[in-house]
Structure 1
Amino acid sequence: MEYIAHIRQSDQEIQTVKEHLLEVKNLAEQHGDKVGMKHLAGLAGMLHDLGKCGNEFKEYILEAVRNPDNPPKRGSVDHSTAGGKLLYNFFHTGKINPNRAIVAEVVGNAIISHHSYLQDFITPELNSKYLIRVSEKELIDFDTTVSYFFENVIEKDLFYKYVDKACEEIVSLLGHINREDISKQLMFITKFVFSALIDADRTNTRQFEEDSIEERVNYEELFQVYYSRLTAKIKSFENHPSAEHPINKLRSQMSNQCDNFAENPSGVYTLSIPTGGGKTLASLRYALRHSLLHNKKRIIYVVPYTTIIEQNAEEVRKILQDDENILEHHSNVIEDTHDDDENEDGIMSTQQKLKLAKDNWHSPIIFTTMVQFLDTFYGKGTRSIRRMHNLSDAVIVFDEVQKVPIKCVSLFNQAINFLKDNCHSSILLCTATQPALDFVEHKLEMDPDGEIINHLERVMKAFKRVEIVDKASNQPMDTSTLAEFVNDKIEELNSILVILNTKKTVRALYQYLTEMRNNIPIYHLSTTMCAAHRNAILSEVREHLKQGNKIICISTQLIEAGVDVSFDCVIRSLAGLDSIAQAAGRCNRHGEKDIQQVYVIDHKQENLTRLREIAIGKQISKRILVDLSKDETSHGGSVLSNQAMERYFKEFYTDFTQDLNYFIPELKKEMTELLMAPKHKSSFVKDYYSKYKKWPPIFITNSYYTAAEHFQVIEDRTTSVLVPYGEGKEIIAELNGNYRTEELSTFLKKAQHYTVNLYPFEKDYLNRSNGLVSYFDGKILALKESAYDKTFGLDVENESSSGIELF
């Protein structure tokens, strides 16, 4: 009897369950082997679709093929529970060996969850979704399924030996961990195994459907070519007419320091190159050489804004002369609805195509955002966590690391510690304003003497190109007063950049100034515009700057991190000290003029009610500015000094002490407790004991599913939608096509440049006003043309008058 795992859409070819289980096992072993989890991951692969070894699923899949227009009821056959149930019955009942039982829990949870998300071991309602599935759920023909497995997939004796090797891996992974951190370590182990399983399963399914096998990338050979090209580019700078300029000589020295530092072992290091100091190329130089010396498989850049992705990726592409192997991952075009797709697995459907098309970060060089990075560890669904295993054996460069959201600081730190300690990855924290991530309770384990740049204070002074002019301590400005100030300044200067804290004030100032000064170019930038739209505007802005034309640009903070522009003057609405420093980096960026002015103003019409981090940062910065107005020698004599920055971040994190562990108001608990609390410290476990008068009969008691349900990097979970701008119109027009999975993957990567993110209230409003169109059964959304403005981007009012305020 042969059981069916999948039926190929193109030719009705069958992949048997045995073939699928063994092929996924092999792939999962490769993913797990990188971090000492070969058999843990392989065990998950070997058992994940065990429930397909039965007539019930065979009849289901055959009926679905025979009647595609009227398939069997979705969810009618459970095929993901059987593997977890086998492990539970064999190793978690009777006389229990703790190591085998922990393997059963770690691997079993990954198996039963591979069509949804890791289940809670203890829920807020004080039951165990894991136990309900593996111990209480009755499965038809389970005994027959188990017999088939041992007769056809692996002999029972070999299976026990395999499980014992998985136990050895658990012992090794937990052996050096103190008791208080075992739950945290098990959480990361479980998520890594889950990631390896998800990617192996999706990859094998796609390869069968496309009847193809991917060629393996020779990372060492590729990185050697990249390093040679980068070295040649750096050498070409020596012949540039401005090579002897003090700023350029200093850039060269810092770049050389990065190259030399790459010889050090992998760890967590800081690269505090001042703004405009050549950080992108210097960090790439470290990453490539470190990868060659220490056998790393990929280089991942993590940035706060998509704006930086676009610019940095383009710069790297030009130098490395490679488009194919450099991935930009901006956002998820496909909405991950977190629904259980149990019976989308077997026949190729719209849902299945989209699932298989989602990227797994297999590229050698990746540019992505902090939101995507954190979602990989903590977000819901299977889309993001699929990528987690590819964060191992990597060099991960965090550009502008000070932008880690406050509530995610502890979670970020713990993820980085795991990558350093268990995944052989090297972490580079890049910014001119290093945050005090080792100051908080769940601290980042920084390497001592981990700063790459020598004599940092001297470097900062040498890079001084601006002076901060405090106008925030004067009378606050409204939009009209600020417009008058800008109008006066543009008479004296050629270019002015104004950075404000909210989209609404940016838009208002733009409209005010366009009415006041219609004789010079004025530009608007905000995240209501898609990436391609912003790039087009920035290209025009750069051309005006290059020509020395008069120009005014008004932007939200998206422009102040990593965007290579240089204005004569910057006006920054009062915010955190790090934001002021980053804004200053857009003024006289290359030291082309004498010291220029950065004006800090207080805009009284900005509503920061929903932007608490900016509001608190603004208060602390104001206190430091007041100190300097009273004593110009305080805080190192500058608002941008290391002393001022250190005080700023320590006060900032102190003010947010209660928020650093991601508090969940609905549960009145911190995320760190749900994910990492030891069994004896879990309030859910204590409540369980009070209710049932016994301890839960499991070793792991954390609540992975509940934590993921409540996790969102930004306050309101957003939805990416395609926009009718430029090529975006063609992309939307093509959405009704019938794509192969491979074509769909390429299509979706291209589509990222033509998306904006909608907050829930914006999405609801556009739905009500008929401003959205859905494709692929609602998994992909697009704006109608009436809902996208050529100047401002997203128009939530869709040619109506909603009165909604956009913050």
Structure 2
Amino acid sequence: MKQNESYIARPHQLLSVHLANVSALTSEFASTVGFRNSGRLIGYLHDIGKYSELFQHYIRSATELIDTEDIDYADASGLKGKIDHSSAGAQWVWKRKTDGISEIVAQIMALAIASHHSGLIDCLSSDGKEIFGKRMTKEDAKTFYSEALQHLSEKEVELSQLFNESVEELAPACQKLAAIPELNPKIQQFHLGLLTRHLLSCLVDADRLDSAGRTPQKSSSWETILQTLEQNISRFKADTKVNKIRKRISNSCQRFAENKPGIYSLTVPTGGGKTLSSLRFALHHTRNHKLKRIFYIVPYTSIIEQNAEEVRNILGDSDPNDPLILEHHSNLTPKTDTEPNRLFSENWDSPIVFTTTVQFLESLFSSGTRGLRRMHNLTDSVIIFDEPQSFPLKVTHLFNNALNFLHYLGGSTIVLCTATQPCLDDVDSEKGRLHFTKRIGYSSEMMPDCRQLFDALKRVKVINSIRPEAYSNSEIANFLDQKFCPEINSQLFIANTKVVAREVYQNLQISVPDIAIFHLSTSMCPVHRKTVLETVKAKLANKERLICVSTQLIEAGVDISFDSVTRSLTGLDSVAQAAGRCNRHGGAKVIGKVFIINASEEKLSSLPEIEIAQQKTLRILGEFEKSSNDFDGDLIGLRALKRYYELYFFERSHEMDYPVKGGDTLLSQLSANELAKQAFKRINNEQLPPYPLLQAFSEAGRNFEVIDAPTEGVIVPFDESARNLIGQLCSTQFSRAETYKLLKLSQRYSVNIFSSDKAKLRDQDAIHETQPESGIFYLNECFYSKEFGIDHKGDGNLSFLSI
């Protein structure tokens, strides 16, 4: 093979075409941070190692383009994943470095090219091994650099010019990063690491899109969407005290959209209509500043379901092939980078994206390429964090520094939207605090009168019902039964664990058989939870007596109102969120009652954050009892919540940089990487590798878990639509593009389960792959319950599904 036109990237696509396509797409994606030329260069160089004769023999043999009797035939199964085709491009870039700036640029681009299949590689591992340097000096026989170089001769001048232009692009980026307040060398290294990850994200997404035969989703007309929103808002009636306040909040958000992009807070009491108010801000702000998309980042999938549906009903979203709104619930594709899940993973290119805290953080810090692929779409956007206090404490500094990066370099506007604002701007500045945008004469808060809002929207009273001997599950059921009275016709109980919620529900079925009892948990798929909530809402509207038992999924973003709420002891912020489900619209004749109780049968050893939060809430309850005036007489008011966060953050400040084994932290591994440097010096006589970036990116990614027990998505056969989707995914008749659409639809029928639970279900033959090696699993029907969702005992009451 002598001509470039004889070389293929995959069946039916020439390598030259693939390189050109990926180059153009990567350039387009990277332009949002001013790295257009860098994107063009790495896109073209990323797969030049595929020009090797060995790779060509492999790919043609694997796809039966070479007969087994042909002299060039290769054992494809033995070579799969073993031919290095990414190092050649990385080495080409690295060899072009000269001075300090060009060296930084060269390393950033070399890392992106070398990492586009594996995820970001280490520069220096925690045990002091020089990973990046060895990759850049890897022998020609294994990288096929010389072979690749022969095919670049005609483009040498153009590519060299692109490298020089890439160096020129870095100076403005460095100036933007230097503008971040309180910048120190550690945080600067952290931001350079995020810049590298961003460039890699652009490359990975471009590569996956071209490989799957997909194109980026077209941008929407914000003007048209805004007109639809405003027409709907104009029909909302300000006919009650609460609705008048909601209208005032909405109008304030619209006016605030004129402000420049920045980092802002929106502090609105529960029930204040912050979802639509923040949407109104986001749409006007996006239109005013020509931004690309809007993200809603929420703590629970239940919030995605309701909020996305609410927004969809207002804006309309009728084209399933080009959706305005994406709901990204769960990871149906596994973290391991197999060819199918690389192509089918979600990339967040819809105009409005609803996704979870877990998905957001994984896009910034996880290993592999599945989450990383999405990161670049977070730039040049409005990102709204609903209930940011729900973020795990250990990611505080990672989160703060990432948000500063996304604003100062990525040009995005960040909004923290909650009734219970955490003190993210009041933590250790050396490790990274959040830098809210200051406006001359004004604060960064979008609402000018928070205290007045909280007083005006006070609709409940919190009652401390904790006793020395905690309540058993049966006693909790009795407690709820005794609370029924003329003023209390509907009740909500929120437990800290699924086990307690389930057992209280079962006790209530026995003790109050004449009252409708409902159960909600994350073991149920989104459509299942929605079905239960719709039934509960219908009964509430009919004034029927009922009790709903739930885990904390109902605490935020679920528009539902009960006469009374009982909350198992937890953090004061969660108590405030639970209170938002009581007398939500202010329509009750008497003030709503929220009871706090302590449950004796909760097992919280694996949930230390809840245990610590309980201690701080008990401290606040004691202080409130001594002097309620210090808290304006409101246990869930602004002063009480501020005091709670002071206590909670102070005691746990040492956990905020994400500690890992060996005395290291993720913040360090992604920035200065001091322990790795010390290990390297011990091995190499006090010398350090001569590279600008020395982070342990890959190791940090492997250490990173948003929750201590990671989860994976499983599709459940809840109804006929779910069964049809499972059947279609099990079929081999669908193209990659069609399978991708099916996976999007399947998210509404997926449940995230712990890896240990998944292993148990596999041992019971309860879950199966839709296709061999797809990593996409579905559940047998006898393991799914209409009451509890996934049932690990196989006692589910749905009929058995056989495919």
TM-score, normalised relative to structure 2: 0.92
Query: For residues 492-641 of structure 1, what are the structure 2 equivalents within 5 Å?
Result: 492=486, 493-593=488-588, 594-641=590-637
Q: Identity of counterpart residues, as a percentage?
A: 36
The Cα offsets for residues 682-716 of structure 1, whole Å up to 9 and x where unpaired, read as 22112211211122132210010000011110111
Using the alignment, how far apart are the partners of 1:466 and 1:140 within structure 2? 69
What is the match of residue 799 of structure 2?
A: none
Tell me which of 705, 727, 752 is aligned to 2:698. 705
Using the alignment, how far apart are the partners of 2:216 and 2:706 within structure 1? 33
What is the match of residue 446 of structure 2?
A: 452
Using the alignment, how far apart are the partners of 2:668 and 2:143 within structure 1? 39
Say whether residues 1:185 and 2:191 are aligned partners. Answer: yes
Structure 2 vs 1, CA of residues 781 and 224 (structure 1 numbering), >3 Å: closer, same or farther?
Answer: same
Structure 2 vs 1, CA of residues 308 and 143 (structure 1 numbering), >3 Å: closer, same or farther?
Answer: closer
Q: CA offset at residue 752 of structure 1?
A: 0.7
Say whether residues 1:375 and 2:362 are aligned partners. Answer: yes
Tell me which of 127, 143, 146 is aligned to 1:125. 127
Say whether residues 1:57 and 2:59 are aligned partners. Answer: no
What is the match of residue 355 of structure 1?
A: 342
- Contact 1:88–1:135 at 8 Å: present in 2 too? no
Using the alignment, how far apart are the partners of 1:123 and 1:415 within structure 2? 22
What is the match of residue 165 of structure 2?
A: 165
Structure 2 vs 1, CA of residues 257 and 302 (structure 1 numbering), >3 Å: closer, same or farther?
Answer: same
Bigger Cα displacement from structure 2, 184-193 vs 33-42: 33-42
Structure 2 vs 1, CA of residues 215 and 64 (structure 1 numbering), >3 Å: closer, same or farther?
Answer: same
What is the match of residue 112 of structure 1?
A: 114
DSSP 3-state at the match of 1:633: helix
Using the alignment, how far apart are the partners of 2:377 and 2:143 within structure 1? 37
The Cα offsets for residues 356-413 of structure 1, whole Å up to 9 and x where unpaired, read as 2222111000100000000000011111111111111101111111111111111111
Q: CA offset at residue 320 of structure 1?
A: 0.4
Tell me which of 737, 752, 771 is aligned to 2:731. 737
What is the match of residue 480 of structure 2?
A: 486
DSSP 3-state at the match of 2:212: helix
The Cα offsets for residues 713-738 of structure 1, whole Å up to 9 and x where unpaired, read as 01111121111211322222232212
Say whether residues 1:393 and 2:374 are aligned partners. Answer: no
Using the alignment, how far apart are the partners of 1:684 and 1:523 within structure 2? 53
The Cα offsets for residues 536-574 of structure 1, whole Å up to 9 and x where unpaired, read as 111111111111111110001000101000001101111
One-letter amino acid matched to 1:44:
I
Say whether residues 1:719 and 2:712 are aligned partners. Answer: yes
The Cα offsets for residues 324-359 of structure 1, whole Å up to 9 and x where unpaired, read as 211000111111214xxxxxxxxxxxx534322222
Unaligned stretches of 5+ in structure 1?
339-350, 801-807
Structure 2 vs 1, CA of residues 581 and 4 (structure 1 numbering), >3 Å: closer, same or farther?
Answer: farther
DSSP 3-state at the match of 1:719: strand
What is the match of residue 803 of structure 1?
A: none
Q: CA offset at residue 138 of structure 1?
A: 3.2
Query: For residues 186-585 of structure 1, what are the structure 2 equivalents within 5 Å?
Result: 186-207=192-213, 216-217=218-219, 219=220, 222-237=221-236, 240=237, 243-323=238-318, 324-338=323-337, 351-441=338-428, 442-448=432-438, 449-473=443-467, 475-492=469-486, 493-585=488-580
What is the match of residue 346 of structure 1?
A: none
Q: CA offset at residue 653 of structure 1?
A: 1.1
Q: CA offset at residue 4 of structure 1?
A: 5.8
Using the alignment, how far apart are the partners of 2:7 and 2:136 within structure 1? 22
Using the alignment, how far apart are the partners of 1:4 and 1:373 within structure 2? 41
- Contact 1:399–1:431 at 8 Å: present in 2 too? yes
DSSP 3-state at the match of 1:571: strand
Q: CA offset at residue 130 of structure 1?
A: 1.9
RMSD: 1.9
DSSP 3-state at the match of 2:327: strand
One-letter amino acid matched to 1:409:
T
Q: CA offset at residue 22 of structure 1?
A: 2.1
Tell me which of 74, 78, 87 is aligned to 1:81. 87
Unaligned stretches of 5+ in structure 2?
69-74, 797-803
Tell me which of 661, 674, 677 is aligned to 1:682. 674
Q: CA offset at residue 157 of structure 1?
A: 2.9
Using the alignment, how far apart are the partners of 1:215 and 1:451 within structure 2? 33
Using the alignment, how far apart are the partners of 1:5 and 1:786 within structure 2? 51
Bigger Cα displacement from structure 2, 437-446 vs 755-764: 755-764
Q: CA offset at residue 98 of structure 1?
A: 2.0
Q: CA offset at residue 472 of structure 1?
A: 1.6
Using the alignment, how far apart are the partners of 2:370 and 2:671 within structure 1? 22
What is the match of residue 683 of structure 2?
A: 691
What is the match of residue 174 of structure 2?
A: 174
Aligned residues: 763
Q: CA offset at residue 204 of structure 1?
A: 1.9
Bigger Cα displacement from structure 2, 763-772 vs 607-616: 763-772
Structure 2 vs 1, CA of residues 214 and 482 (structure 1 numbering), >3 Å: closer, same or farther?
Answer: closer
Using the alignment, how far apart are the partners of 2:619 and 2:637 within structure 1? 15
The Cα offsets for residues 428-456 of structure 1, whole Å up to 9 and x where unpaired, read as 11001111111212211112301111211
Using the alignment, how far apart are the partners of 1:329 and 1:502 within structure 2? 24
The Cα offsets for residues 139-165 of structure 1, whole Å up to 9 and x where unpaired, read as 36845434334324x2x3332221111
Post-superposition, which runs of at least 4 consecutive aligned residues in structure 1 deviate over 4 A?
Answer: 3-8, 67-70
Structure 2 vs 1, CA of residues 39 and 526 (structure 1 numbering), >3 Å: closer, same or farther?
Answer: same
The Cα offsets for residues 509-552 of structure 1, whole Å up to 9 and x where unpaired, read as 00000011111210011111111111111111111111111111
- Contact 2:216–2:349 at 8 Å: present in 1 too? no
- Contact 2:33–2:173 at 8 Å: present in 1 too? no
What is the match of residue 804 of structure 1?
A: none
Using the alignment, how far apart are the partners of 2:145 and 2:494 within structure 1? 67
DSSP 3-state at the match of 2:374: helix
- Contact 1:766–1:798 at 8 Å: present in 2 too? no
